[in-house]
Amino acid sequence: MKAFLFPGQGAQFVGMGSELYQRSEAAAKLFDHADEILGFGLRKIMLEGTEDQLKQTRITQPALYVHSMASMVDIDNPDYNYLGGHSLGELTAMAVAGVYDFETGLKIVQHRANAMQDACDHVPGTMAAIVGLDDQIVEEVCDSVEDIVVAANYNCPGQLVISGSISGIDQAIRILKEKGAKMAIKLNVAGAFHSPLMQEARDVFETFVRDICFKTPKVPIVQNVTAVAESDPERLKEHLIQQLTAPVRWTQSMQYLIEEGMTDMVEVGGNGKVLRGLMRRIDRNIKTDKLPSIPA
């Protein structure tokens, strides 16, 4: 059984899409159409921009969505039983599954990215990567901190990202180091993603997406919020909204797929390294591959 999985922020790289744009007419048309939908030159930033430009949330999210979608355009009858994505990647999975079309998906992604960027500007926050402690210990420390700090990304066993206020994260890092964390370090991110500090973004995003028609996906989609496969359009939408303030349960999602019989996973888009790297830490018996199958 095979799952196609789509990465989120952190998988971008300068020059992403250049080979696809040159070798595939269908992919090139998709990149150009994306510029028309967004109203600015995303392709130029992706192919020729700087790392600082590309890591801006308003740019990163549509860039990864477009790159992943372009990676799929020349694949006839792709062989997968499940789809899923890490954070932003879940929106890509829904487009591939036919929950909405490419244009609708890109508009949703753009609105989500803008809402998250605005929330970061209005409510300062940050995130930190914690390595080498059990999830329960990290969760207990988050609960003990006076300011807002929560578990945000359950990436793989022994690797958890926390999110919250700057002062709260600083306090949590100090405690987690005392508890024996091998690494507890702030991430270079714009704000406190997947935490209560994203409530403003969630409210704005919900207002936008609530009236958009979601269709039944061609195959089940494993969602970040629940870590189980879902096919009901309204539940897909509700969990997508919740995701902005809820943790990404990636470890649990992959364990669910393994229990369902997954033997192969394909990471689609981005640098092709992030999700495959996490899978090696979750279960080395799972065969991994990437699309596009060209050097990043």
Catalytic residues: 87, 194
Task: Measure Cα distances from 234 to 201, 213, 224, 231, 237 in Å.
Answer: 20, 9, 15, 9, 5
Q: Residue with structure tokens 């990215």?
A: 113
Amino acid at 89: G
- Closest to 83 in 3D by CA, of 245, 238, 240, 265: 265
Contacts of 52 (CB under 8 A, 6+ apart): none
* C-alpha triplet 185, 187, 192: angle, nearest 5°: 115
195 close to 163: Cβ distance less than 8 angstroms: yes
CA distances (Å), 190 to each of 117, 243, 259, in order? Answer: 7, 17, 35
Element (DSSP H or E) covering residue 153: strand 149-156
Whole-Å CA distances, 138 to 72, 118, 180, 189, 265: 38, 28, 11, 20, 28
Contacts (Cβ under 8 Å, ≥6 apart) of 261? 1
Say how far apart CA 291 and CA 286 lie, in whole Å. 17
Helix (H, G, I), strand (E, B) or coil at 226: coil
Tokens (6 digits) for 203? 């409210």
Rounded distance between C-alpha atoms, residue 279 and residue 56, angstroms? 26
CB half-sphere exposure, 207, CA atoms < 13 A: 7
